[in-house]
A and B are shown apart, each in its own frame.
Chain A
Amino acid sequence: GESVGLHLPTLSVQEGDNSIINCAYSNSASDYFIWYKQESGKGPQFIIDIRSNMDKRQGQRVTVLLNKTVKHLSLQIAATQPGDSAVYFCAENRYAGGTSYGKLTFGQGTILTVHP
């Protein structure tokens, strides 16, 4: 079925390294993608988003890359810090066939652990 999924469920890095979290999606009709960060015991927090008419977007220490050809999304975190340790979710949005509203479908999540 159509779904958003992640290649790696866990990722461990050393403080200061760059992290790359990957996400594959299967719905070619998806036109908007978001990355969320969820710390333990908290709700998801928006990190960065990208529309399907773009292939790269940068934020503060984060970059999202979108490859529509292979339906792949990645989140790059530069100079990873212990505070970046969390579960990271990608999510896709798709309009419901002619309606004015869409809904987010979340991927499984990747656990990022940053070691000091």
Chain B
Amino acid sequence: DTAVSQTPKYLVTQMGNDKSIKCEQNLGHDTMYWYKQDSKKFLKIMFSYNNKELIINETVPNRFSPKSPDKAHLNLHINSLELGDSAVYFCASSQGLAGEGEQYFGPGTRLTVT
């Protein structure tokens, strides 16, 4: 059984388009995250939600809007896509909200903006 799943796995789109990435976890965790990994493998947190409430919002452009309809889902919507948005986006979840303990990562969504 997949613990943290993301769709789609690959996403190719043109500049200016709007796209969404979906994430679901079946671990019963309270906290979910979005990370961005650039071409140099640098992994940086974007958002964190705990029980549908936003608790971490790093300096991410407001073109990125996370939405958590319930604690098992955290979707990421991106408006007006730019070339610099090309990256691999990872969803993750954990039981606590303190940043401690294991975070379970999804397989990633490779976004390519042309």
- Chain A residues packing against B (C-beta within 8 Å): 32, 34, 38, 41-46, 49, 87, 89, 93-95, 100-106, 108-109
Report the Cα distance A34→B101, complex, angstroms.
Answer: 8
B95 to chain A, nearest CB (A): 12
20 A-B residue pairs with CB within 8 Å: A32-B100, A41-B107, A43-B90, A43-B107, A44-B105, A46-B102, A46-B103, A87-B41, A93-B99, A93-B100, A95-B98, A101-B55, A101-B98, A102-B99, A103-B45, A103-B56, A105-B45, A106-B42, A108-B41, A109-B43
Contacts of B48 in A (CB 8 A): 101, 103
**Beyond A46-B102, A104-B45, A106-B44, 4 extra complex contacts between A and B, CB < 8 Å:** A41-B108, A95-B98, A103-B56, A109-B41
Considering only residues 1-44 of chain B, those with a C-beta below 8 Å from chain A are 4, 40-44
Residues of the A chain whose Cβ atoms lie less than 8 Å from the Cβ of B41 = 38, 87, 108-109
B51 to chain A, nearest CB (A): 12
Q: How many of chain B's residues touch chain A, expressed as a range?
A: 20 to 34
Chain A residues whose C-beta falls within 8 Å of the C-beta of B81 in the assembled complex:
none
